[in-house]
Structure 1
Amino acid sequence: MPNGSIDPVFQLVKSLTRTEKRHFRLFAGRPGTGEDLKFMRLFDALDGLAQYDEERILAQVPAIKKVQLANLKASLYRQLLSSLRAYHAGQNVDIQLHEQLDYARVLYNKGFYQQALRMLERTKQQAQQARLPHVALIALDFEKLIEAQYITRSLRGRAEDLSAESLDTVQHVTQLHRLSNVALRMYGLYLRVGHARSQPDAERITARFQAALAGIDVSHGGFYERLYYYQAQVWYSTIVQDFRAGYRYAQKWVDLFEQAPDMMEQQPMLYIKGLHNLLAALYNLLYYSKFVRVLAKLEAFAATLTRSTPNTDVLLFQYIYTHKINAAFLEGRFTASLQLMPELLEKLVLFQPQLDLHRRLIFYYKIASLYFGSGHYRKAIEYLNKIIQYRDVTLREDIQCFARILNLIAHYEAGQDEMLEYQIRSVYRFLGKMNEQQQMQVEIFRFLRTAGRLAPHQLKEAFIELKNRLLAISDNPYERRPFLYLDIISWLESKIEDVPVEDIMRRKFARMK
């Protein structure tokens, strides 16, 4: 039966480019790969299917018996990976370095110790140039093994040199791993909770972050040490809503790459992520003039990227469209920006296998917000429901909450009174399950629960009262978090002045410039 979504061999085959397929056919046809190459017939069958279907494969290739299929798929998978490794080796310095380590092992096993040492020395130097100290450390360990076991006539003075070099490399690798752990934990915390909800919450996160960085000094650190340090600082600053610090460290992240152009080529994904985080910080700071310059830089980098991969393709799609929508929010161009939707939705389907759930939820929320701002409330509800229907609220509880509140407002605006009472009960249940409700959420909920009972001439005064209460709430730095997700003030101003929310946003943008 069709089941392509969970078959890794089929997914790998369908991901191949035309040149990768041609390389694989040449690779599989080399001497010594097998007698009848049944896995190649399996490859051709998989390549011709739109979705995985075991029965069709067996019908198309009668020589393959059902009991053989699992083993043949395993063989095909190994051959595909070996082919791809060989095909992409020239574009990945780490693959080349590990290949040289393998050569050194072969020479060592053959008893050619001097040749092995020369290979290891070359590998170590290249690893250091590529800012890969963990690979250099493997080479060093191998060098020490050879020098300690065999008289190579190179040991005089080498023992102290190798020992000092190893200790220095170990210190850098240890610090690198500490920093990468801190960056990963901060990112994981952000995915779970979003921004800090209160002063005690921020203090706990700060204490945890400072303890993790205790004793770390990156002033003499290598490229990756500084990179992971900047990443950790960006995520920490984002969580505690220190957007100015987040901007400074995201800029350092981008500068680090631009001062080392070879790393932009080696690690384009990390450079792209740096630009994304810089754009996110600029958006939160409403720094529009620099925002558009950095967005233009991201698009220019995408256009000139010489070595595109599925990973870079999905990141560029994700970040460019995210920030094009953010630009529309800043400029108040909701209706005009709906022209992005056909291509965006097409690519969202295309890249869905590579997009994790967190990023899909963010896209759905931004698309819904764009439709809401342009007055297409039913379309906004459609995309908000994609978030609400996801039952595991441990991932981005904040997005789950604001999706429900925006959904309530969209039903109110769409005049769907018959659904409003149900939506109110649903939001009430959800807020009751949240670890900590914020004042803005509670005030909006209270307003919408009573708005249906107000006479038309009472509504304007109620909108004014709600706006004043929310402005007072926003004076508290840790109560501002909800306003990052939902510009409720602009919506209230549109209701008070009886003009589209888009007009309010454009007016604010004109003042911001």
Structure 2
Amino acid sequence: MSNWGKDWLFILIKSLTRSEKRQFTLYVNRLQNNADAKFISLFNAMDKMEEYDEQAILKQKITSKQQLSNLKANLYKAILASLRMNPSKKNVRIQIREQLDFATILYQKGLHKQGLKILDKAKQIALDVEEKSLALEIIELEKVIESQYITRSITGRADELIAQSNDLIVQNYYATKLSNLSLQFYNEMLTSGYAKSEEEKQEMINQFSDQLLDINIDLLNFREKLWYFKAHVWLCFLIQDYRNAYKYAKFWVELFYQHPKMIQSHPIWYLKGNSYLFKILLLFKSVDKYIYWNNRLEDQLNNENFPQSSNIDSQRFLLQFSNKLNIEFIQQTYNGSLLFVKQLQRGINEYRNMIDEHHFHILYFKVASLYFGYKKYDESLAYTERILCKSDYSVQEDLLFHTRILSLMAQYESGIDQNYEDFVKANRALMKKMKNKTEIHDTFMTLFEGLLGASDKEQKAVLERFVNRTEELYTNKFYVRSILYIDVLNWAKRKLK
């Protein structure tokens, strides 16, 4: 996979579709200040590059080295301006903001009634799609106009605006508080990981409950309920309360099915809700439920009214590809062709600048695990290597540890074990640096260290000790996630047989 580098302009140009490039060319040609076509020359030069090369641009003498930075900055703004004019890019938030801008222009020209008429329509749209911050901004401009110009448009206009404003302030207060709480626990999940003891679990529950004391769910509208359910899902994941995580993830997704218009307005959060629901169903290995919710998702994605954009398409790819892998994990038939795995590289090539590398590493790990289940150890090792070769990228420590464990299992099974000892040493060194090390990590390592160079009789003793100790550890529910994709315990049991 080639690297496009860190040049934002280059990445933006490479993300454009053919129609967007054509529209940009038309847009720039309408600007008299760019008659010298420097914009177009720089744009075309960068569009033809496979990787960003500043020296190649300077050799074409499009501009001087001193002026290149300014030209790139102006080109970046011009591309965004042309995209903003593209009807296909105008989602409802852009449309509302555009109407607000138009009303502001009319107000500045003294055309107050025209401005208020536009604002009233924009406000209604904002309220319909629960864009309450925008609605409040519109009301504030309405107040300004009404206070400076006696329109006599509606009797009791002041009372109406005050009532609307007060209601939105309350709803925005709830939304802000819940979104802060949701983000706080999501950050906790990324930085500190899951609760590892009853004490940690109780501390998180207390912290969460303290911030919900003044929130009555019956007073919440769609947007606030969405944040309410999100916050609960992330708390439940943190404390590994998967039954309640399933309950709130289902509330999250069903909220969109109860308000189908919101799927068009907030497609990313619809996809994210489904993503968390599927993660829990995978833990429960609920085949029927997984397929039921996946069919409902696919019905929406195949609907011609489902929104499309590069960002939405990238998240859609992640979810659909992950679901195909997960259904294989749940059914555990291991009798398919795995032809769909070829879609992974196509997706990486298309969305490499829209999806962070961690998500691709998760997919690599799942594919490697699936190939291991198929006893295709060469392919499994090839996908673990895609993660382990990333010395320039900080792979999440738990993912790195389990990737090396999976690689050790594949090396052991395949006999391709010339690097086995190096992997054991590397993983033991990693454990010394791990912030969230648990006893289960140490038990895994003791197993593979014990298998190194052992005779058949010694290996049997090592496996028996591992099985006995791990079964004892797995009575602790906080270790259950360790067997999600690689069940080392059952693998060891099969080795004993």
**TM-score, length basis structure 1:** 0.88
| Aligned residues of 1:393 and 1:400 also touching (Cα < 8 A) | no
Amino acid at match of 1:360: F
2:294 is matched with which residue? 295
Work out whether 1:114 is the aligned partner of 2:113.
yes
The residue that corresponds to 2:29 in the other structure is: 29
Whole-angstrom CA distance in 1 between matches of 2:45 and 2:388? 40
Q: Please name the residue that 1:94 is paired with.
A: 93
Between the aligned partners of 1:181 and 1:305, the Cα distance in structure 2 is: 34
How far has the Cα of 1:83 moved from its partner? Answer: 0.9
Q: Is the 8 A contact 1:372 1:380 kept in 2?
A: yes
What's the CA shift string for 1:34-92, capped at 9, x where partnerless?
433321232233333333333433444x4534433322222222211111001046741
Cα gap change, 1:458/1:473 in structure 2, threshold over 3 Å: closer, same or farther? same
Q: Which moved more, 1:369-378 or 1:411-420?
A: 411-420
Distance in 2, Cα, partners of 1:255 & 1:366? 28
Which runs of structure 2 are paired with 1:189-208 in the superposition (5 Å)?
189-208=188-207
Q: How does 1:310-329 map to 2 (within 5 A)?
A: 310-329=310-329
**Aligned CA distance change for structure 1 residues 483 and 393 (closer, same or farther; 3 Å):** farther
Structure-2 change in CA distance of 1:357 and 1:192 (3 Å)? farther
Asked if structure 2 preserves the Cα contact closer than 8 Å seen for 1:175 and 1:216, the reply is yes
In the TM superposition, 1:162-311 aligns within 5 A as 162-306=161-305, 307-311=307-311
Secondary structure, counterpart of 2:46 in structure 1: helix
C-alpha change, 1:109 and 1:430, in structure 2 (3 Å) is same
1:356 Cα deviation from its structure 2 partner: 0.9
- Cα 1:23–1:102, aligned 2, differ >3 Å: closer, same or farther? same
Q: Which residue of 2 aligns with 1:399?
A: 399
Distance 1:392 1:412, change over 3 A: same
Q: What is the identity, as a one-letter code, of the residue corresponding to 1:398?
A: D
Total equivalences in the alignment: 495
CA distance in 2, matches of 1:70, 1:448: 54
Give SS of 2:338's match: helix
Give runs of aligned pairs for residues 455-466 of structure 1, distance below 5 A. Answer: 455-460=455-460, 462-466=462-466
Gaps of 5+ in 1: 498-513
Aligned CA RMSD, in angstroms, stands at 2.7
Tell me if structure 1 keeps the 8 A contact 2:83–2:89: no
Q: How far off its partner does 1:421 sit?
A: 3.0
The Cα shift of 1:461 comes to: 5.2
Change (3 A) 1:485 1:440: farther
Q: Is the 8 A contact 1:90 1:96 kept in 2?
A: no
In structure 1, what residue type is equivalent to 2:82? S
Determine the structure 2 residue equivalent to 1:73.
72
Alignment-derived partner of residue 345 in structure 1: 345
Distance 1:76 1:394, change over 3 A: closer
What is the CA distance between 1:179 and its match in structure 2? 1.4
Which residue number corresponds to residue 381 of structure 1? 381
Secondary structure of residue in 1 paired with 2:105: helix
Are 1:44 and 2:44 matched, yes or no? yes
Distance 1:187 1:63 in 2: 47
Moved more, 312-321 or 432-441: 432-441
Inter-partner Cα distance in structure 2 for 1:368 and 1:115: 62
Alignment check: 8 A CA contact 2:450 2:459 kept: no
Deviations 1:94-114 (A, max 9, x none): 111111111111111112223
SS at match of 2:219: coil
Distance in 1 (CA, whole Å) between partners of 2:108 and 2:206 is 51
Counterpart CA distance in 2 for 1:388 and 1:197 is: 26
Question: CA 1:194/1:328 → structure 2, altered by over 3 Å: closer, same or farther?
Answer: farther
Tell me the SS of whatever aligns to 2:5.
helix
Q: Is the 8 A contact 2:450 2:462 kept in 1?
A: no
Letter in 2 for 1:21: K
Q: Describe the superposition over 1:301-338 as per-residue Cα deviations: whole angstroms up to 9, x where unpaired.
A: 33335442111221121111112111111222446353
Q: What CA deviation, in whole Å up to 9, does each residue of 1:439-458 have, x standing for no partner?
A: 33222222222223543145
Q: CA deviation at 1:15?
A: 1.5
Structure 2 CA distance for aligned equivalents of residues 399 and 202 of structure 1: 22
Letter in 1 for 2:241: D
- Pair 1:145-2:144 in alignment: yes
- Go from structure 1 to structure 2 and tell me whether the alpha carbon gap of 1:134 and 1:237 turns closer, same or farther (over 3 Å shift): same
Q: C-alpha separation between the residues in 2 aligned to 1:429 and 1:144?
A: 64
Mapped partners of 1:49, 1:13: distance in 2: 10
Moved more, 415-424 or 206-215: 415-424
Worse-matched range after superposition: 402-411 or 289-298: 402-411
Instruction: Tell whether the 8 Å contact from 1:193 to 1:396 is kept in structure 2 after alignment.
Output: no
Match in the other structure for 1:451: 451
Q: Deviations over 1:330-384 (max 9, x none)?
A: 2224463532332223322332222213212212221221232223334433433
CA displacement, residues 194-213 of structure 1 (integer Å, 9 cap, x when unaligned): 42211112122222222233
Q: Distance in 2 between matches of 1:70 and 1:453?
A: 60
Which stretch of the first structure deviates more once superposed, 162-171 or 343-352?
343-352
Greater Cα shift, 373-382 or 196-205: 373-382
* 1:358 paired to 2:358: yes
Residue 447 to residue 72, structure 1, CA distance change in 2 (3 Å): closer
User: Closer, same or farther in 2 for the Cα pair 1:458/1:46, shift >3 Å?
Assistant: closer
CA separation of 1:96/1:405 partners in 2, compared to 1, >3 Å: closer, same or farther?
Answer: same
Matched with 1:442 is 442
C-alpha distance in 2 between matches for 1:17 and 1:418: 47
- 8 Å Cα contact 1:114/1:152 also seen in 2: yes
Separation (CA, whole Å) in 1 of partners of 2:344 and 2:89: 33
- Deviation per CA, 1:93-139: give whole Å up to 9, x if none: 11111111111111111122232222222221121012101001001
CA distance in 1, matches of 2:141, 2:445: 65
User: Which amino acid in structure 2 is aligned with residue 189 of structure 1?
Assistant: E
The 10-residue stretch of structure 1 (194-203 or 341-350) with the greater mean CA deviation from structure 2: 341-350
For residues 229-276 of structure 1, what are the alpha-carbon distances to aligned partners after superposition, in whole Å with 9 as ceiling and x for unaligned? Answer: 111111111121111111111111111111222221222222122222
- Amino acid corresponding to residue 57 of structure 1 in structure 2: I
Distance 2:292 2:155 in 1: 57
Q: Secondary structure at the match of 1:315?
A: helix
Q: Contact 1:193–1:395 at 8 Å: present in 2 too?
A: no
Residue of structure 1 in register with 2:427 after alignment: 427
1:173 aligned partner, one-letter code? N
Give the aligned residue type for 1:207: N
The answer for unaligned runs of 5 or more in structure 2 is none
1:446–1:14 CA distance, 2 compared to 1 (3 A): closer
Distance 2:154 2:208 in 1: 45
Q: Is the 8 A contact 2:104 2:115 kept in 1?
A: yes
Q: How far 1:390 moved relative to its partner? A: 4.9
Instruction: Measure, in 2, the Cα distance between the counterparts of 1:178 and 1:394.
Output: 32
Deviations 1:135-167 (A, max 9, x none): 010011112222233433458633333222211
Give the residue type in structure 2 aligned to 1:203: Q
